[in-house]
Structure 1
Amino acid sequence: MQFLNGITLLLVYQLVGEITVRLLGLPIPGPVLGMVMLFITLLIRGRTPASVDQASSALLSHLSLLFVPAGVGMMAHFGRIADEWVPITLALLLSTVITMVATALIMQVTTRWFTKPLAERGQQDE
């Protein structure tokens, strides 16, 4: 019964996110907004309910099955992908490089941000 309660709660958050996006015309997917809402709720509560923990663990254990529709879609549209392989490859390469550069820059900034207070605390202790 806990699994059913957890799945219901996850789907309710997804539904609320979808409704919110459609009502407000937000440019993000509804399930993403629902996931953010769930995350904020869990942060406020400080713990994960057992039902959500059980449902999410069960879903994650079968995560590989969620890639089957994507693989079927690739095979169904293989001709189109073969015709447009150059722009697809460029988009994948550029997005990967941009993501890696952005991640490195963010890591450098946050590392400086967090090590600066530690250095200041070390000087104050002396």
Structure 2
Amino acid sequence: MISGLVQILLFQSLGELLSKFVLPTLPGPVIGLVLLIIWLVLRKGVNAELAMVADGFSQYFGLLFVPAAVGVVLFLPQLKANALAIVSALVGSVILTIATSAVTVRFLSSKSEGAD
């Protein structure tokens, strides 16, 4: 378990370093996550220690929504004042996400059919 936790912290630290010195516009944890994913793809799998830590973390994801819910209640007047813009942005982003996903799946499925 310690090994899996060390791996996660190592990649987050690498992401923070790259964010500080190379890519200041991206958050360090995001860079670290991308590096971890690349490392796992190159290794072609997740080791047992990392999987155990990830399973442990995933049990507590619900707690991450508590600060967001408090923020919604705290800023309710501002949210009401800007409701149209917020709803428009949410609907637009959902439509763009679905369209982008569809185009990506179509592109990747045509590539895989051509390889067979």
Shorter chain as normaliser: what TM range? Answer: 0.7 to 0.9
User: What SS does the corresponding residue of 1:34 show, helix, strand or coil?
Assistant: helix
Residue 27 (structure 1) shift = 2.7
Question: After the TM superposition, which segments of 4 or more aligned residues of structure 1 sit over 6 Å from their partners?
Answer: none
Aligned residues: 116
Q: Is the aligned partner of 1:85 residue 2:86?
A: no
Greater Cα shift, 95-104 or 39-48: 39-48
Aligned counterpart, 2:96: 98
Unpaired segments ≥5 residues, structure 1: 119-126
Equivalences for 1:1-126 in 2 at 5 Å?
Answer: 2=1, 4-118=2-116
Greater Cα shift, 93-102 or 104-113: 104-113
Greater Cα shift, 91-100 or 9-18: 9-18
Change (3 A) 1:25 1:92: same
Residue 78 (structure 1) shift = 1.1
User: What SS does the corresponding residue of 1:27 show, helix, strand or coil?
Assistant: coil
Change (3 A) 1:113 1:50: closer
TM-score scaled by length of structure 1: 0.80
Structure 1 vs Structure 2 CA RMSD: 1.7
Amino acid at match of 1:8: V
Change (3 A) 1:47 1:114: closer
Unpaired segments ≥5 residues, structure 2: none
